[in-house]
Amino acid sequence: MKTFFFRTVLDFPRATLLFVAIMVGFAVFYLKDFYLDASADSLVLENDQSLAYYRKIAQRYETDEFLFITYRPTVDLFSEENIQTIWQMRDELAKVDGVNSVVSMLDVPLFSGTEGSMADKVRNAKTLRDPAMDRARAREEFISSPIYRDLLISGDGQTTAIQVNLVRDERYYEMLYRRNALREKKYAGTISEEETQELEELANAFRVYNNEAADRRAKLIQDVRELMDGYRQHGELFLGGVPMIASDMIAFIRSDLKTFGMAMLIFLAGTLLVIFRKLRWMAWPLFSAALVVVLMFGFLGFMKWPVTVISSNFVSLLLILCVSFTIHIIVRYQDVQADNPEADQRTIVQEAVETISVPCLYSALTTLVAFMSLLVSGIRPVIDFGMMMAMGITVAFVLVFLVLPAGHMLMNKTAPVSASARASQSTAFFARITETHGGKIVLAALVLLAFCVAGILQLKVENRFIDYFRSSTEIYQGMIVIDEQLGGTTPLDIIIDTKPGGPEDPVAPAADAGPAADPFLDDAAADADAGWDDPFLEGGGAADYGQPAEAWDDPFLDEGAAGGAPGGAEAGWDDPFLEPGGDGQAVVPEAQPLDWFSLVGLQRLEEVHDYLEARPESGKVMSLALLPKLIRELNGGRMLNEVELAFLRALMPEEVRNTLVAPFLSADGSQVRINVRVMETDKSLQRQKMLTEVRRDLTGEMGFADEDVKLTGVLVLYNNMLQSLFRSQILTLGFVFFAIMGMFFVLFRSLYVALIAIFPNMLAAGSVLGIMGWAGIPLDMMSITIAAITVGIAVDNTIHYVHRFRREFPVDRNYLQTMYRCHASIGRAMYYVSITIIVGFSILVLSNFIPTVYFGLFTALAMMVALLFSLTLLPRLLVTLKPLGPEQPVARPNPGPGDATADGGAAMVDGSPQARSKD
């Protein structure tokens, strides 16, 4: 195999490079299929059962997508000047392509400006656009309204929200629902061959359509932002909403790919020039790295793999790993040339590649294993990131060992680099420290181990989504305003069923209520033929609607029964059809499912609504319970009776039904949805604790059956992902350590050596997790990849060092002298590579995505720890434990003027042919 490789690559370098060019050309063809993804799937677990339920609920209570603009004017919110400004803004927003409608404080009905019965208030409701509307009463109604408060107007009456409803893309949702349904069948193992083929075709079609829709949505958001810019002189405006966050996330990914890719290339170019001081040693590594990146972009397009915020730094990783391979080859080339200055170019290249290929291969394999360990995380974008990088490492290794040797064959041999020029004062320093302070190094390692263990025990997973973004981004600023002034951001849905079934059952069509009279008609409109003659009502029957409470006395109620229901008559819950139960409580027959659109149903729902609203994490709560609250507000504090509720249900205007009923009540009345917007910016927010307490209280104190209560929504999905992080971290680290130990055993043929080699890498990974624990930095989707990836990359140093140590030791069978020689040769390459990686990862702090910043900083930190221990602890353990057998003491030679060091330290005879073993 080696003979074939060398004869092919070294004897036919131009043909080799032509083959690489053809492969790159093939990749360029598929660049058009490369795409980015910032969908909600990037926040959930793979095949999460809660996700299937969430999708069914979302489909049942579907609502249109929308953006919202928070607006805090410099003048009074209810001033004529500001009303004209909002009016003009909303009219311009309505004309933006892709906008369906705009809802502002000027568009909603206000009832405080009308006197009379509830019918009068509803029929003659005004808006703020009406000149006759009293602004002071409007302000009071907005601030006190159970519907508008913390939704359209902040509690202090100084900030408002403008909701921009987008045109519903029916084709998009048709494809989405069908794709999700087929995926569920696939996960359940019930999908047929025809459906499997349909799923594959639909997934590809949906991907293309989704990309087109994302472009249209980005254009719409850009248009809205440009329109907002024209009003910033009037006040503080922020744009929010799921479409805007998804669009900005894609912009962040694009920015990271471009910024880090270019910054990394510039940095690597400068680093290679500083290290090797020759243009050729900069050009060929960068050329190889650029080809790897192009090939990977094309491969991702061919495989239809999206790049997410988690994998957006894959370009930087590939460049760093690719250049690390080239540095090892170049350093080895220089060493071989120094040993054999008279040898021809082919001989030097062949020996350099032959001796460095094995440790580089194992380095690539261990790094590949580290990324493959991410496949057990269970988080879709993390899995894709692992697969993407595993393929990228494979491509990088193969391409580097094709392009660099072939490129060397096309270049003239340069003059050998002198030993003094190749010497590294830094590695010589580490060698002396290792020899003279070995005990202190081991003690420091044990102290660090204790520090790491204590820190790991303090790790947590609770984090805030808002902390993923810099405070300068509009996402962050908008979420702050919405949380603090407009009722919270992260949605939580509580679904309560009153009979077996749920979202899996088909949605029943709305029953035809038939002809019914309107309880809101005034006296003149009342008609006995319309059903208003009620024999159970005293006085004037329907004609007395809106009259004092005495007109509603029911002779069939027992004394005190009107106040028997919780809340009593004052709460308006007096129902003439309910029998009094124990302790004055209404009795609901157990044999019949609870109809939520009834007095008893709405009463129970209000209890749940008020409980959720009182929780410290809750912002705005929306449910069917807002309807009775609104009725009492309009009806002098009194609730309608059961008959009036039936009329209301049948004759409710479509607009009211779509706003207050349809989003919260199933068509058959057996299932209710309560939407809670959770305060994401609350630093004390503990999602798991909140969800546990809500379920406990609903099924315990409030008496709902456990199987009838389900919690869903983005908050639940996100929490499921967070709670899986500990398990994912343990699985990924366990997998990578077990796999690397096995590879060490195969490579070094000694379990003893393998155990020694793995210890410094455990400290490198542990230092990251330990510092995160002590600093209170929670685990997230990206940070769980750091430890495993760090081990995979940092272990490269261990492989190269131990591999060289085993080759050098037979020369004189002296551990100390072998250490000095290894520090002078492979130690120099390790030092260059590690410094390149450390500074390279530090560039990631420029990202707007905070997990990427942490990824860069902590990976750089771990690589620094790995380098220090690879040049101190690892050799100290080898010298002390002597895993290669007994040594033969020899006198240390005096350093000569041509040696690698002449500074009083031990001689490093790396350049001496007599001091080097031959395989």
pLDDT of residue 889: 61
Kindly tell me if the per-residue pLDDT of 557 is higher than 50.
no
The confidence band for 571, taking pLDDT boundaries of 50, 70 and 90, is very low
CA 605 to chain centre: 34
DSSP β-bridge partners for residue 160: 71, 153
- Percentages helix, strand, coil for the chain, rounded to the nearest 5? 60, 5, 30
Q: What is the average per-residue pLDDT within 815-838?
A: 88
pLDDT of residue 625: 92
Rounded to whole angstroms, how far apart are CA atoms 919 and 265? 36
pLDDT of residue 513: 38
The confidence band for 198, taking pLDDT boundaries of 50, 70 and 90, is very high
The tokens for 616 are 């410290």
112 residue type, one letter: S
Rounded to whole angstroms, how far apart are CA atoms 836 and 830? 10
The tokens for 830 are 């390790």
Q: CB of 813 within 8 A of CB of 226?
A: no
Query: Please, is 122 exposed, middle or buried when counting C-beta atoms within 10 Å of its C-beta (0-12, 13-18, 19+)?
Result: middle
Rounded to whole angstroms, how far apart are CA atoms 70 and 886? 75
Q: What is the average per-residue pLDDT within 601-606?
A: 91
pLDDT of residue 418: 59
**CA dihedral of residues 702, 705, 706, 708 (deg, nearest 10):** -110
The tokens for 549 are 């409470």
Cα–Cα distances in Å, from 394 out to 321, 372, 745, 815? 11, 12, 22, 35
Higher pLDDT, 690 or 427: 690
Q: CB of 894 within 8 A of CB of 904?
A: no
pLDDT of residue 890: 55
625 residue type, one letter: A
Q: What is the DSSP letter of 580?
A: B
Q: CB of 775 within 8 A of CB of 833?
A: no
Give ∠ CA 437-440-443 in degrees, rounded to 5: 155
Q: Which residues of 523-539 are buried (b: 16+ CB within 10 A; e: fewer)?
A: eeebeeeeebeeeebee
Among the listed residues 451, 384, 553, 366, the one whose alpha carbon sits nearest the alpha carbon of residue 768 = 451
Query: Please, is 381 exposed, middle or buried when counting C-beta atoms within 10 Å of its C-beta (0-12, 13-18, 19+)?
Result: buried
pLDDT of residue 530: 37
pLDDT of residue 837: 84
Q: What is the mean pLDDT of the chain?
A: 80
Higher pLDDT, 314 or 103: 103
The confidence band for 38, taking pLDDT boundaries of 50, 70 and 90, is low
Max Cα–Cα distance, the chain, nearest Å: 121
Among the listed residues 654, 636, 642, the one whose alpha carbon sits nearest the alpha carbon of residue 603 = 642
Among the listed residues 812, 771, 767, 810, the one whose alpha carbon sits nearest the alpha carbon of residue 791 = 767
The confidence band for 124, taking pLDDT boundaries of 50, 70 and 90, is confident
Rounded to whole angstroms, how far apart are CA atoms 272 and 101? 57
Higher pLDDT, 851 or 239: 239
Spell out the alpha helix ranges (H) of 493-641. 599-614, 626-634
Q: CB of 262 within 8 A of CB of 311?
A: no
What is the residue whose two structure tokens read 């969800």?
691
Rounded to whole angstroms, how far apart are CA atoms 201 and 585? 58
Question: Using one digit for the tens of pLDDT, what is the confidence trace for 359-369?
Answer: 888 888 888 88
Rounded to whole angstroms, how far apart are CA atoms 147 and 541? 31
DSSP β-bridge partners for residue 72: 236
DSSP β-bridge partners for residue 665: 672
Higher pLDDT, 475 or 698: 698
Q: CB of 267 within 8 A of CB of 326?
A: no
Q: CB of 845 within 8 A of CB of 819?
A: no
Q: What is the average per-residue pLDDT within 806-810?
A: 90
**CA dihedral of residues 14, 19, 24, 26 (deg, nearest 10):** 150
Q: What is the DSSP letter of 46?
A: T
Higher pLDDT, 549 or 328: 328
Give ∠ CA 300-303-304 in degrees, rounded to 5: 80
Query: Please, is 554 exposed, middle or buried when counting C-beta atoms within 10 Å of its C-beta (0-12, 13-18, 19+)?
Result: middle
Query: Please, is 571 exposed, middle or buried when counting C-beta atoms within 10 Å of its C-beta (0-12, 13-18, 19+)?
Result: middle
Q: How many CB atoms lie within 10 A of CB 222?
A: 11
DSSP β-bridge partners for residue 491: 677
**Strand order from edge to edge, sheet including 66-73:** 99-103, 160-166, 66-73, 235-240
pLDDT of residue 818: 93
Listed range (278-287, 600-609, 865-874) with the worst mean pLDDT: 278-287
Cα–Cα distances in Å, from 125 out to 451, 632, 633? 67, 16, 14
The confidence band for 656, taking pLDDT boundaries of 50, 70 and 90, is confident
Give ∠ CA 35-36-42 in degrees, rounded to 5: 135
**Strand order from edge to edge, sheet including 490-497:** 618-622, 671-678, 490-497, 709-712
Question: Using one digit for the tens of pLDDT, what is the confidence trace for 266-320?
Answer: 888 888 888 888 888 888 888 888 899 899 999 988 888 888 877 877 888 888 8
Among the listed residues 385, 302, 398, 326, the one whose alpha carbon sits nearest the alpha carbon of residue 35 = 302
Kindly tell me if the per-residue pLDDT of 573 is higher than 60.
no
Kindly tell me if the per-residue pLDDT of 650 is higher than 70.
yes
Q: CB of 832 within 8 A of CB of 427?
A: no
Torsional sign, CA 640, 641, 645, 648: negative
The tokens for 865 are 């720890």
Rounded to whole angstroms, how far apart are CA atoms 205 and 150? 40
Among the listed residues 621, 611, 624, 606, the one whose alpha carbon sits nearest the alpha carbon of residue 665 = 624
Q: CB of 907 within 8 A of CB of 894?
A: yes
3-state DSSP assignment of residue 165: strand
pLDDT of residue 574: 45
Q: What is the average per-residue pLDDT within 708-726?
A: 86
Among the listed residues 248, 211, 221, 235, the one whose alpha carbon sits nearest the alpha carbon of residue 164 = 221
The confidence band for 77, taking pLDDT boundaries of 50, 70 and 90, is very high
DSSP β-bridge partners for residue 211: none
The confidence band for 509, taking pLDDT boundaries of 50, 70 and 90, is very low
The tokens for 65 are 């997508």
Q: How many CB atoms lie within 10 A of CB 221?
A: 23
Residues of the chain above pLDDT 90, percent: 25
Rounded to whole angstroms, how far apart are CA atoms 206 and 633? 47
What is the residue whose two structure tokens read 């195999």?
1
pTM of the prediction? 0.73
795 residue type, one letter: V
Torsional sign, CA 853, 855, 857, 860: negative
